[in-house]
């Protein structure tokens, strides 16, 4: 029974690119390294064939010597190209998140017991990176991404045409790694929510670091009244002042973000979060079913960006 053409293509591609994820560290054994002549290698072999025919036709002893010398050089190139990859050890490194419409970076660590020259590493859909390995090398591979969410690490290709460019040796690897893609921030950010009051307020719901005392105001919580300090005064009440009162607290909510679609709202929220972090402003993020308390710093920034990246259904199906 004949298989459809599509199944034949899947079977052939599976030989060169295994579907199962490789367990790191992955060592490129003899069976994982493939070798084929390049365009220059085919022209080189064709030229040797012409030289051999000419030497036979004219009975040229020096022609025989030169032809066989160059043929031996080509055989050495095959062996050296194969040895440049065989025995190389690969393992994934921690990926770097990125924003939709830009790039994420996957790291690959190369380990070798001898020098490797002219290795080209590339991810499916990304550009290749040329590197040389002494004993250990860390290579970062950029991959363009278009949608937020988790991005699986595509197939990794390691290739080399060293030393003469006549032979190409290559191998494929798949690692079970993924990188987080944040929503693309809008270029022109609208004003923060609550520019007129809504969404921007003082966080008095939970005690923060004690800052000092101030005169009591109407509306202050009763538990914030400094009774002992007020007892020393006959006419005035004092209230405890916390660090949160020194700056406004921003509440970023999905319903306050302008936009016609969910992706547009998430892009606006991403820009607000980035701008608030750059301004060292205390901010909090509230989504449906998710609320991140007010804070500052890089950890809070990445937590908010991760919540935005994974909110709701992904815009496309991930591999």
| pLDDT, tens digit (0-9, with 9 covering 90-100), for 281-318 | 888 999 887 888 888 899 999 999 999 999 987 666 44
* Same domain assignment for residues 232 and 161: no
Top-confidence residue, 197 or 110: 110
Q: What pLDDT band is residue 207 in, cutting at 50, 70 and 90?
A: very low
Number of other CB atoms surrounding residue 213 within 10 Å: 13
**Number of domains the chain contains:** 2
What pLDDT score was predicted for residue 193? Answer: 63
Pairwise pLDDT comparison (38 vs 294), residue with the higher score: 38
Question: What is the domain extent for residue 258?
Answer: 200-309
Q: Are residues 212 and 244 in the same domain?
A: yes
Euclidean distance between CA atoms 158 and 94, whole angstroms: 19
Q: Are residues 170 and 210 in the same domain?
A: no
Radius of gyration (C-alpha) of the chain in whole angstroms: 32
How confident is residue 195, by pLDDT bands cut at 50, 70 and 90? very low
Residue range 151-178, pLDDT digits in tens = 999 999 999 999 999 999 999 999 999 9
User: Exposed e or buried b for every residue in 169-187, given b needs 16+ CB within 10 A?
Assistant: bbbbbbbebbbbbbbbbbe
d(CA 91, CA 24): 5
Q: Per-residue confidence at 246, pLDDT binned at 50, 70, 90?
A: very low
Let me know whether 171 and 221 are in one domain.
no
Is 2 part of a structural domain of the chain? no
| Residue 314 resides in a domain | no
Of residues 86 and 7, more confidently modeled: 86
In a domain, 146, yes or no: yes
Residue 28: is its pLDDT beyond 90?
Answer: yes
217 and 295 part of one domain: yes
Judge if 262 and 234 occupy the same domain.
yes
Residue 3 lies in a domain: no
pLDDT exceeds 80 at position 143: yes
Residue 15 is assigned to a structural domain of this protein: no
């Amino acid at each position: 029974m004949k298989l459809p053409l599509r199944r034949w293509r899947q079977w052939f591609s599976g030989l060169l690119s295994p579907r199962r994820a490789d367990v790191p560290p992955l060592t490129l054994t003899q069976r994982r390294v493939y070798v084929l002549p390049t365009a220059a290698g085919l022209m080189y072999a064709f030229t040797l064939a012409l030289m051999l025919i000419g030497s036979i036709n004219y009975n040229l002893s020096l022609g025989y010597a030169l032809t066989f010398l160059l043929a031996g050089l080509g055989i050495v190139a095959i062996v050296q190209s194969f040895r440049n990859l065989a025995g190389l050890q690969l393992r994934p490194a921690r990926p770097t998140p990125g924003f939709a419409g830009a790039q994420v970076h996957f790291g690959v660590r190369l380990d070798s017991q001898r020098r490797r020259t002219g290795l080209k590493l590339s991810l499916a859909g990304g550009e290749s990176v040329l590197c040389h390995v002494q004993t250990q090398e860390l290579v970062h591979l950029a991959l363009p991404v278009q949608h937020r969410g988790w991005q699986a690490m595509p197939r990794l290709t390691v290739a080399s045409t060293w030393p003469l460019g006549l032979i190409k040796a290559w191998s494929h690897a798949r690692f079970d790694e993924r990188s987080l893609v944040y929503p693309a921030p809008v270029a022109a950010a609208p004003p923060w929510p609550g520019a007129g009051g809504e969404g921007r307020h003082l966080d008095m719901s939970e005690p923060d670091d004690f800052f000092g005392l101030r005169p009591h105001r109407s509306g202050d919580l009763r538990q914030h009244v400094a009774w002992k300090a007020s007892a020393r005064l006959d006419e005035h009440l004092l209230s405890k002042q916390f660090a949160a009162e020194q700056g406004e607290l921003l509440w970023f909510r999905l319903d306050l973000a302008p936009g016609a679609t969910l992706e547009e709202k998430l892009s606006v929220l991403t820009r607000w979060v980035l701008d608030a972090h750059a301004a060292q402003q205390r901010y909090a993020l509230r989504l449906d079913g998710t609320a991140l308390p007010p804070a500052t710093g890089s950890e809070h920034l990445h937590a908010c960006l991760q919540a935005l990246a994974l909110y709701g259904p992904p815009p496309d199906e991930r591999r």
